[in-house]
Structure formats: structure tokens, C-alpha cells
Structure 1
Amino acid sequence: MSLTLEGKAPIAPYVMPAGARIGHVHLKVAELERSLRFWRDLIGLEVQQRIGDQAVFLSAGGYHHHIALNTWESAGGSPPAARTTGLYHVALLLPDRPALARALRQLVQAGWPLEGASDHGVSEALYLRDPDGNGVELYRDRPQAEWPRGADGALTMCTKRLDLKALLAEAV
């Protein structure tokens, strides 16, 4: 589909509105039930709708879906090879540090491996992979007033080791 604006003067570059957000992500998966056990039973999302053995829509808090899993083009498929393009990770923003601590406790109890855990100054994050090799980030943001800034006021994010034992101690 191609559209043109003939006879119109050039306009300023488009800027996404401040209220925009990522609404949902669709993931191609090899086995729906295996992925459902990860996203529902381990990560804690709730099923909102299911289309037979082809797709399932999951969310937190009753939203229509944050994550959709489907096998429409991927049933029985393999994860993408390393060093290829594609999705780096899906990031799920948790409301606060205790929620992140409870997510960590769930992963530890299930024996699910972490690939990393970082303090970025603006946020704290846990990194893992789903059964299809998709990267998953579970994180919480610090209040904006606590974000690290340079003398010029510019954001100065970092990557430091996240103290997992201290975080786990906050799982209430």
C-alpha cells in the first residue's frame, strides 16, 4: 500500500506522542503448550483468550493482551540462530521492587536460569529466555527523581551488578 500527499508542503518530522506505549507483543512459538507453561505458570500472565492449539492471548490485570503466542508460521520450528536479526527481548515492567523480588523468587523456586541481572540506575532488571529462545526482561523502574543525571542534566544510565540476594530478601 502506498499513499502520497501530493501538493502538500513538507512538514516537521513526526514525533511519537508522550502517552504512547507498547501495547502488546506477538511471539512466534514452536509449541503452544510449552510456551503457555512458561508465560502463564512461571511468569504469571493470565489467559484472556485462546484460539484452539494455534494462539493464546495473555495479560496482567485483565488487559486484552500484553503477550500473544502463536504457531501460525512457527509450529515445530527452531529458535533463530545466534548472530541473526530479530527480537532482542520483551521487557515486562513490574510496578515496584517487591514485585520484582517475587518474580525472582518464582524463577528461583522453579529452577529457571537467569542470563543476567543488572542495575541500570533508572531500573533494576532480570534477564532470561523463554522456551523458544526469546529474550525476556523483568524489570522495575526507579522513580524519575532518582534517575542518575550528569551535571548537564542528561540521563546517565549504567550497567552494574544487581544484588540478587538483597532483592530476594524483599520477596514478601
Structure 2
Amino acid sequence: MTAPQTLEVKFSHFGFHVQDLEGMANFYKAVLQFTETDRGGLGAFQLIFLSRDPDTHHQLALLTGRPDDVQAFNPINQISFQVPDMPNLRQVYQRALAAGASDMQATTHGNAVSLYFRDPEGNRIEVFMDTPWYCYQPLREPIDFDTSDEQVMEQAEAIAKRTPRFMPRAEWRAEMQVRMNRDQGRTA
């Protein structure tokens, strides 16, 4: 019996229906600096493709056809984007406020500092940066984003240290690599 081949999968893109195709595309272009890579029709739907990576045709696909009555319950919990550091997170914060994003919330998960806000059609967006720590999840506590970068990170670390299994991210990553190798039938 041969060992199963390692499955290689990585996340590619997210597509969702919208009511205002141009308005939603403009929001993602203004706030997160996506570039429109293509647009066109496919049957009854109009699409706009957006990306921030020249090797990836689209990371977001916006499609017409969202019904009016989905505001009562949106099946999209959140669309998450990662930034490398606090200056980038602050830039998104300013852009989102300037674009009229609603429901702005600054939080920490201990292992990340996150901003949550809503796009013009009510979809929740998370933009986050990793911290150098791991702690037990789920964890979500508000932080004061109107303080300095150092103070934000101090808040995040203090909250993370109060939780079970606090450790450096590198240590957690090494544990996860062993676990994933086992789960995926790899030996190394």
C-alpha cells in the first residue's frame, strides 16, 4: 500500500454577490487598494475582478444579484485581509474612515491586532496583523487604537498573557507543523 500523496491546497479568492457593483468595487479599491483586473458579463450576472497580487488574476470577485432582503442575515461572517505591521493597519484605518466604513472596532485576539468594519453593503471586513504570540482561541477584546503603536502592542500582549497556553508564535508554529504533518500523513 502506497502512502497518500500530500494534498497541496492554498486559498485563492473570494466571490460574493453585491447590489451596487460599482460602489462596492470602488470601496475595495479605495480602502484596500485593490486593482480591477477584468470586468464583464456572464449570463444574467455582471462581474468585477479585483486583485492586489500580479500573479493572481483575482482575489475578490464581485457579482451582481444580491437580493434586497439579505440585510436581515448576511451569511458572510467576515472577509479577512492581513497586513504586515501597524503602519499598514493604521493606513487601512484612515482609508476606511475616509470611505465612510461603519461599525469600526479595534480588537485584539492576542495572536493578532484587528480592525473590523463594514463595507457599504454591510459585509464585515477584518484587517489584521499578526503578533509574535500565540494564545488560546477564541479571544476577542477591544483595544484603544487611538494610542501609540507601542501601547497597542502592550495592550495586546497583556491580554494574550492572561490566557491559557500563551507562548511565542514560533513555538506554536513548530507544534502545528508536527501536528499537520501527522494529520496529513507526512513523516517530517
Q: TM-score, normalised by structure 2?
A: 0.65
Q: Which amino acid aligns with 1:162?
A: I
Q: Which amino acid aligns with 1:68?
A: A
Distance 1:136 1:59 in 2: 16
CA RMSD, aligned part only?
2.8
Question: Cα offset for 1:134?
Answer: 1.4
1:87 aligned partner: 76
Q: Which amino acid aligns with 1:158?
A: L
Question: Cα offset for 1:113?
Answer: 2.5
Structure 1: any 5+ residue segments left out of the alignment? 1-13, 149-154
Identity of aligned residues (%): 26
What is the number of equivalent residue pairs in this alignment?
143
2:113 aligned partner: 124
Distance 1:95 1:57 in 2: 24
Question: Cα offset for 1:87?
Answer: 1.4
Distance 1:123 1:48 in 2: 30
**1:24-59 CA distances to partner (integer Å, 9 max, x unpaired)?**
110100121111111112221111111158111111
Q: Does the alignment pair 1:40 with 2:21?
A: no
Structure 2: any 5+ residue segments left out of the alignment? 151-188
- More strand as a share of residues: 2
Structure 1 window deviating more from structure 2 (50-59 vs 95-104): it is 50-59
Q: Does the alignment pair 1:134 with 2:123?
A: yes
Q: TM-score, normalised by structure 1?
A: 0.70
2:115–2:126 Cα contact (<8 Å) kept: yes
2:147 aligned partner: 166
1:10-89 correspondence to structure 2 within 5 Å: 20-51=9-40, 54-62=46-54, 63-71=56-64, 73-74=65-66, 77-78=67-68, 80-82=70-72, 84=73, 86-89=75-78
Distance 2:50 2:87 in 1: 22
Distance 2:148 2:114 in 1: 11
Question: Cα offset for 1:114?
Answer: 3.2
- More helix as a share of residues: 2
Question: Cα offset for 1:167?
Answer: 5.8
1:94-133 correspondence to structure 2 within 5 Å: 94-133=83-122
Q: Which amino acid aligns with 1:78?
A: D
Spell out structure 1 runs of 4+ moving beyond 6 A: none
Question: Cα offset for 1:168?
Answer: 7.6
